[in-house]
């Protein structure tokens, strides 16, 4: 068996793509689905004045709208049918996931296996519709409040906008599920990935143009490129880092046969929370800027000076912004890790199957030990995420040049790329293993 595995690993190369027909079909399906998504980001809502919209967006892009525009691949800037993107589904998933820890009925569904997961997914879809409807109506009202953006404002425009935007979000949710089942990688993550990467070429061109005009020195541009490579390498290393706890299983007897005790590992990721902490943190910090952008000049002069002051203090590159950003990221790292990973449940499952950590008593002591180890590695993971997300802010403060790839977007791009590549390798290994088994059977028949 070991020699077969070694032969399988040695034969894994790019020539295997030519023979893996199923893998090629999945890749083409994924690319086609992402192309459909990108086309939808250029289909505008009916009744919108594009010139007035572009002018209004230029004033409001510093707030949370700019963050959503990046995640939606520019659909917000063009007010396309996919302007809401997949974010309502992400938000609903997080809310339902948090509720499973505080609502006993949902927690029970989580333990019921496949049937319970289907019900939870159904609740997530209902939540997506509610959130998307609320956000779409807010967008319709906000567009009508702008000067000359809506050609024919009124209830008909609001209803049409809500139906179109909610339909676009539900279509993207369905498209993501199709990519997951019939394509390669996680469909929802790939849609966000495609939206972020879509703006990369224009950002690179803008940076090179600044260098050509002399606004950005050539050594600084080269230093930024080198730093980006180093940061990506660090992210890859840290996202793959694990603390593996040794699990032992005692010897067991079945009939007249005695099976030796087995050993395995309980992998604890260094970054259990993923990209959720920076998304939450940046969204909260951009709320004051978003509210300020929607205030008129009259309201600002009659009592909104405090909001203007807060917006100035929480601007990108400001000390207050970076301190609060780091504090919120660290808080959400521990909070979300505590939600998604329950040491007590893990210890109970190990005890149920006869597994134990050497030197640790099964049950409550095992849960305490797992929680202790998880807390220590979460400290390291929180520091890593904080440094990655604050690095662009320090560069903005030092050079005065905005960077397209912030810490959150860079984490998403690298994580999705790693996950997709690992799935491609898994399909190649499965295909080559099947071929190796067939060859072995044919040799056995010939003999």
| Inter-CA distances, 322 with 25, 63, 255, 286, 311, Å | 45, 16, 64, 12, 13
Segments of the chain scoring below 70 in pLDDT: 1-19, 58-68, 251-261, 289-307, 312, 314-317, 397-406, 431-447
pLDDT tens column, 288-305:
766 665 554 444 444 466
Any domain includes 20:
yes
Please report, for the domain that includes residue 151, its CATH number: 1.10.3370.10
Any domain includes 220:
no
Any domain includes 421:
no
Question: pTM score, two decimals?
Answer: 0.78
Any domain includes 281:
no
According to the model, what pLDDT value does residue 356 have?
82
According to the model, what pLDDT value does residue 102 have?
78
Any domain includes 65:
yes
Any domain includes 353:
no
Any domain includes 127:
yes
Q: Identify the domain containing residue 110 by its residue range.
A: 16-199
According to the model, what pLDDT value does residue 11 have?
46
- What would the two tokens of residue 340 be? 């998604």
Give the number of domains in the chain. Answer: 1
According to the model, what pLDDT value does residue 286 have?
72
Pure H helices in 274-341: 276-293, 297-301, 305-313, 319-340
Any domain includes 124:
yes
Q: Which residues contact 192 (CB under 8 A, 6 or more apart)?
A: 71, 85, 86, 90, 412, 416
Nearest to 274 by CA among 233, 327, 333: 333
Q: Which residues contact 82 (CB under 8 A, 6 or more apart)?
A: 37, 40, 41, 43, 72, 73, 75, 168, 169, 172
pLDDT tens column, 230-249:
888 888 898 888 888 888 88
């Amino acid at each position: 068996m070991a020699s077969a595995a070694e032969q399988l690993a040695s034969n894994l190369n790019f020539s295997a793509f030519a023979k893996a027909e199923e893998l090629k079909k999945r890749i083409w399906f994924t690319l086609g689905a992402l192309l459909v998504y990108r086309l939808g980001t250029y289909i505008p809502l009916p009744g919108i004045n594009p010139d007035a919209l572009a002018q209004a967006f230029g004033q409001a892009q510093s707030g949370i709208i700019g963050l959503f525009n990046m995640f939606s691949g520019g659909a917000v800037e063009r007010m396309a049918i996919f302007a809401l993107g997949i974010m309502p589904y992400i938000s609903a998933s997080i809310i339902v996931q948090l509720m499973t820890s505080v609502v006993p009925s949902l927690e029970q569904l989580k333990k019921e296996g496949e049937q319970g997961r289907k019900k939870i997914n159904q609740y997530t879809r209902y939540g997506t519709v509610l959130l998307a409807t609320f956000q779409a109506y807010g967008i319709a009202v906000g567009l009508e409040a702008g000067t000359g953006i809506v050609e024919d404002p009124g209830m008909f425009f609001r209803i049409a906008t809500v139906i179109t935007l909610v339909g676009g979000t539900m279509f993207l949710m369905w498209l993501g599920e199709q990519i997951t089942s019939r394509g390669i990688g996680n469909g929802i993550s790939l849609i966000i990935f495609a939206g972020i990467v879509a703006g990369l070429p224009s950002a690179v061109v803008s940076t090179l143009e600044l260098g050509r005009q002399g606004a950005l020195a050539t050594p600084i541009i080269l230093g930024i490129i080198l730093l980006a490579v180093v940061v990506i390498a660090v992210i890859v290393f840290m996202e793959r880092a694990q603390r593996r706890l040794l699990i032992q299983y005692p010897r067991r007897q079945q009939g007249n046969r005695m099976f030796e005790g087995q050993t395995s590992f309980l992998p604890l990721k260094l970054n259990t929370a993923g990209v959720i902490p920076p998304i939450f943190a940046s969204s909260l910090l951009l709320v004051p800027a978003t509210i300020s952008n929607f205030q008129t000049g009259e309201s600002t002069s009659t009592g909104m000076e405090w909001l203007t002051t807060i917006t100035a203090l929480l601007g990108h590159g400001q000390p207050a912004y970076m301190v609060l950003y780091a504090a919120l990221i660290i808080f959400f790292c521990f909070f979300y890790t505590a939600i998604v990973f329950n040491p007590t449940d893990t210890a109970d499952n190990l005890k149920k199957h006869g597994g134990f950590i050497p030197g640790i008593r099964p049950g409550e002591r095992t849960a305490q030990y797992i929680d202790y180890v998880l807390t220590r590695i979460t400290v390291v993971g929180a520091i890593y995420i904080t440094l990655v997300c604050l690095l662009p802010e320090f560069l903005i403060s030092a050079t005065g040049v905005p960077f397209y790839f912030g810490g959150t977007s860079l984490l998403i791009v690298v994580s999705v790329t790693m996950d997709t590549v690992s799935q491609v390798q898994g399909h190649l290994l499965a295909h080559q293993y099947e071929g190796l088994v067939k060859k072995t059977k044919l040799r056995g028949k010939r003999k």
